[in-house]
């Protein structure tokens, strides 16, 4: 029998990959100009930004691809080979310690036919081996083993070209891991700016740093991810009404919101990078778990963090680091709002604790977090219900064409000597306006990968 070798069908037809790493620029469905949908100066937002599928795709390519995104806590990885999996926007990623102990993050998609290389939530491994055909990558992301490799064209096949795609930048701050696909993104600390000062009030109370306990609680909510992110950045205003019954249960005096929470003293920080945090400065507005409250030496904390941070920013604050990382110091909750289409989000929530906390205090804080802001927590359910309700009715023609109001506190921002950056009153939409201003700027700016350089 004679075997005739057929000419290679792809000769002369190889597509051009300008970046040289076999990744073509992800050209967009022509970018939609969102200028008419977000009027940050006048505090108006069009509901289509929560419902429109084209805008959602553009958001993946321009907001999530371009920004620093929260991946997890550094304590989730103890030694080389430890890994966990998460998402950056809708892209699945592996976060792992390589052989040298460096934290790395890779797209969790096999370079062969695209299956997820790792399907476990977390674990420890010597290699990332895809369960579809068995391609295997080392901890540095290099493709090291290909079953039946001699079947690939001799002389043309360059295995080194087919390693896992690594994020462009990865950094940690206050025990938190962030990464971005954007090689041109300014350093993480620049993205945080003055926001880091406020984060320290929660994450730098202990010279030993923080740790996470109890795993990650994950649940799906109907509602666009921005509804949750903006609320955590800008909205103390809803607390008295939405959480009235929960506040009654937790009220230290038993008198509920009117006696304790209605006091509006406090500040709200916001910046042009879209970050925001608000906090009451009235001691009656504290709702921490009793064992945690008794554990802290407040005089020592005042010394460590300064007077301005020892109350609100450290305890009953709310905060969002743009775009989708949020936290609540009072119960040690950190969370990320993963987008799952325009109409749904997946909430991933951790309990963060000071590393020096004794076991019984850790346990008290973990349980308090679950009772208040776990998926069936007495506060969490109120918030989720509001977001799902808004989303459910926003597809109507009439609802979809009516703007939403973010006008509270317009023009009230100022520089206060006690607090870095720009702050407004506790009841304000200042951080919301800046969140959407930043979102619109990114949506209207072609990202690095669209330029095809």
Does 119 bind ligand FES (CB under 6 A)? Our answer is: no
Does 144 bind ligand FES (CB under 6 A)? Our answer is: no
Question: Which 8-state DSSP code applies to residue 62?
Answer: I
Does 135 bind ligand FES (CB under 6 A)? Our answer is: yes
For 164-291, list the strands marked E by DSSP. Answer: 169-173, 176-180, 210-222, 266-270, 276-280
| Burial class, 328, CB count within 10 angstroms (exposed 0-12 / middle 13-18 / buried 19+) | buried
For the chain, give me the number of helices (H) and strands (E)? 14, 22
Does 152 bind ligand FES (CB under 6 A)? Our answer is: no
| Angle ∠(311,315,295) on CA atoms, nearest 5 | 95
Does 133 bind ligand FES (CB under 6 A)? Our answer is: yes
Q: Which is nearer to ligand FES, 116 or 437 (CB)?
A: 116
Binding segment for ligand FES (CB under 6 A), chosen from 106-114, 189-197, 347-355, 368-376, is 106-114
303 binds, among ligand FES, Fe ion, none (CB under 5 to 8 A by kind): none
113 binds, among Fe ion, ligand FES, none (CB under 5 to 8 A by kind): ligand FES
Smallest distance from ligand FES to CB 381, Å: 40
165 binds, among Fe ion, ligand FES, none (CB under 5 to 8 A by kind): none
Smallest distance from ligand FES to CB 126, Å: 17
Residues 6+ apart with CB under 8 A from 45: 37, 38, 39, 403, 404, 406, 436
Does 134 bind ligand FES (CB under 6 A)? Our answer is: yes
Work out the end-to-end distance of the chain between its first and last CA atoms, rounded to an integer number of angstroms: 50
132 binds, among ligand FES, Fe ion, none (CB under 5 to 8 A by kind): ligand FES
Q: Which is nearer to ligand FES, 36 or 134 (CB)?
A: 134
Give SS3 for 38. Answer: strand
Does 112 bind ligand FES (CB under 6 A)? Our answer is: yes
Give SS3 for 137. Answer: strand
Does 298 bind ligand FES (CB under 6 A)? Our answer is: no
Smallest distance from Fe ion to CB 290, Å: 21
* 283/260 Cα distance (integer angstroms): 9
Smallest distance from Fe ion to CB 379, Å: 6
Near ligand FES by CB under 6 A: residue from 10, 102, 113, 265: 113
* 206/203 Cα distance (integer angstroms): 8
Contact residues for Fe ion, defined by CB under 5 A: 383
Q: Which is nearer to ligand FES, 111 or 267 (CB)?
A: 111
Q: Does the CA dihedral 439-420-414-404 come out positive or negative? A: positive
Q: Which of 250, 215, 213 is nearest to 358 (CA)?
A: 213
Contacts with ligand FES by CB under 6 A lie at 110, 112-113, 115, 130, 132-135
């Amino acid at each position: 029998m004679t075997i005739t070798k057929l000419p290679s069908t792809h000769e002369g037809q190889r597509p051009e990959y300008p970046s040289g790493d076999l990744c073509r620029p992800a050209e967009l469905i022509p970018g939609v100009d969102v200028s008419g949908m977000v009027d940050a100066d006048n505090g108006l937002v069009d509901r289509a930004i929560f419902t429109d599928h084209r805008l959602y795709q553009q958001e993946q390519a321009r907001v999530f691809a371009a920004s620093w995104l929260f991946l997890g806590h550094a304590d989730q990885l103890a030694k080389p080979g430890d890994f966990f999996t998460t998402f950056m926007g809708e892209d699945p990623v592996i976060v792992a310690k390589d052989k040298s102990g460096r934290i790395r993050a890779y797209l969790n998609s096999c370079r062969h036919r695209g299956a997820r290389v790792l399907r476990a939530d977390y674990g420890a491994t010597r290699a990332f081996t895809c369960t579809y055909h068995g391609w295997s990558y080392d901890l540095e992301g290099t493709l090291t083993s290909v079953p039946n490799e001699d079947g690939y064209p001799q002389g043309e096949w360059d295995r080194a070209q087919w390693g896992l795609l690594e994020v462009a930048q990865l950094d940690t701050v206050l025990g938190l891991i962030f990464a971005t696909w954007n090689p041109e993104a300014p350093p993480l600390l620049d993205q945080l700016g003055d926001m880091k000062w406020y984060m320290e009030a929660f994450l730098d109370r202990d010279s030993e740093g923080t740790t996470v306990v109890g795993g990650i609680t994950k649940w799906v909510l109907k509602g666009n991810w921005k509804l949750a992110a903006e609320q955590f950045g800008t909205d103390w205003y809803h607390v008295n009404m939405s959480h009235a019954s929960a506040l009654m249960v937790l009220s230290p005096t038993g008198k509920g919101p009117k006696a304790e929470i209605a006091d509006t003293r406090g500040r709200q920080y916001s910046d042009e990078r879209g970050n925001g945090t608000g906090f009451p400065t009235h001691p009656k507005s504290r709702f921490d778990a009793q064992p945690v409250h008794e554990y802290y030496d407040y005089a020592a904390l005042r010394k460590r963090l300064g007077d301005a941070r020892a109350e609100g920013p450290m305890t009953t604050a709310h905060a969002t680091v743009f775009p989708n990382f949020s936290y609540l110091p009072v119960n040690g909750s950190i969370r990320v709002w993963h987008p799952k289409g325009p109409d749904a989000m997946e909430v991933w929530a951790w309990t963060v604790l000071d590393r020096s906390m004794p076991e019984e205090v850790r346990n008290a804080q973990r349980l308090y977090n679950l009772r208040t802001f776990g998926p069936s927590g007495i506060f969490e359910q109120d918030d989720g219900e509001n977001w799902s309700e808004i989303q459910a009715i926003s597809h109507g023609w009439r609802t979809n064409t009516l703007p939403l109001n973010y006008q509270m506190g317009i023009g009230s921002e100022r520089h206060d000597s006690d607090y870095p950056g720009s702050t407004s009153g506790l009841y304000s939409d200042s951080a919301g306006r800046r969140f959407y201003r930043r979102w619109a700027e990114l949506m209207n700016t072609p990202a690095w990968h669209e330029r095809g350089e």
